Structure formats: structure tokens, C-alpha cells
Structure 1
């Protein structure tokens, strides 16, 4: 192999691999997320939260979030009694939201389940597992 090629080859391969990585990386990530989707919910013991809230359904939301509005509408349609904490208008609610490692709204706690985001099927399944709820809303 000529000496000039030995010298230039690493300088040519590094940008080539970088470019291939830029093109292939997102496709591999999309394939991975399609093959192994994140769970619709996680489970845990949320008894302390429910004791404070007074209901077994808790919603962390903002006043302007369209998906939070969808959750409210879904709860109203099913007569679910829930406690809502508005993290954009209540500093204590925001602190609790951050302490619970919330990264987006809506953040729902239903029975033993934590649901991040609006996932209608997961919400309805959690409500069915919980046994529904009474029709009045606490805020």
C-alpha cells in the first residue's frame, strides 16, 4: 500500500463513518423503539399520594396542555372522581411533580399504575382495574 494512501486513509474513513452514523443511527433507533416499545405504564405503591389527594386517581397537568384537556374530558365521560394538580399555577404541585420525576404532562396515577402522557387505552385499562370512580371531581 502506498505511503500516501496509508496517511490519507484514516482521514477519509473518519468522515465516512461519521456520515454513515448520521444516516443509519436514527433508523436503528426507530427500529429499536418499534421492536421494543416503552411500557404503557409502570406500577408501584402510590398509597401516600392517594391518602394526601383523597382519591385513587391523580392527575398532574397544566392549564394549557391539550392532552391534559383530553384526560379531563375522558374522566368526565366516565364519571371518574380525581384530584388534579396544576403544575403551572401551583408551586407546591410543581415541586411534587418534579419530586416524582415528572418530565411531561399529563402525569397520571391510577391505582397502582403511573401513566406518563395521554395513552387512552392504558388509562381506560387502569380505570377498569381500579373499578371506575364516582362522578364528582376534586381540584
Structure 2
């Protein structure tokens, strides 16, 4: 009877921490595999005209002062001669609030025409600029 009680309760109780520790060990690998099998889209299409009208620019950038990828976006836009409106979310609480309202999770966050691009995706940015109507 004691052996049955031991295997009935002790084994599941001991297995729980083992499964927890195994999950901690294998979760990053599973997450990386998931991202490689199902990569996020290069951009999301939408109507961002209200945002662009408020910014008085068809290209809107949410960035931080210290982000190296944000600096790369600035160089890319400046090099292409594109005028844009930049909001520094680390320097302005209003910009940070707007970034959060837009469900911003990473910087740089770019709105180019009808495209929302999260992160530095050079080819996606160049493609969006190429289809942006001349003004």
C-alpha cells in the first residue's frame, strides 16, 4: 500500500519540476524554430493617412536616440533624399504614448505610405519608398 501511494503521488510531484526545467531549457530553441518556419511579415498594409496627416509627412519614423537600427534608417532616408517626420520615444512622453497606442513593440517603427514596417528591414523600406507616389 505504501509503495502504491509513493508511486501515485511522488512520481507526479517529482515530474512537475523536471518538466518545468525542461521547458526552460527547450523553449528558446522552440521559439527560434517557430520564427524560422513562420517569419513575421516584412510589412503590414493599412490606412495610415490620419497618422501621416497629423505628422504632415507621408513617412513617419518612431525611434530612440540610442538605437543603432534607428540610425541606419535615418541614414537610409537621408541618403535617398526623403523627407520624414521623426518622433523620439525616449525624449518625448507624447511620442511614447502615441507609439504605445499604435501597438509599437520595436524601434524603428516606420509608416511609409500604406505600409507599416517594424524593425530595420532595408529592402522593405526601399520597396515602400519605391511605390510611394511622387508629391
**Class of the TM-score when normalised by the shorter of the 2 chains:** 0.7 to 0.9
The DSSP-based 3-state class of the residue aligned with 2:72 is: helix
1:62 deviates by: 2.0
Match of 1:119 in 2: 121
SS at match of 2:117: strand
Structure 2 unaligned runs (5+)? none
List runs of 5+ in structure 1 lacking aligned partners. Answer: 135-139
Q: Structure 2 matches for 1:36-55, cutoff 5 A? A: 36-55=38-57
Q: Quote the RMSD (CA, aligned, Å).
A: 2.2
Residue correspondences, number = 133
TM-score (norm 2): 0.84
1:100 pairs with 91, 94, 102, which one? Answer: 102
Match of 1:89 among 73, 88, 91: 91
Q: Which residue of structure 2 aligns with residue 56 of structure 1?
A: 58
Q: Structure 2 residue aligned with 1:16, among 7, 11, 18?
A: 18
Establish whether residue 128 from structure 1 lines up as the match of residue 130 from structure 2.
yes
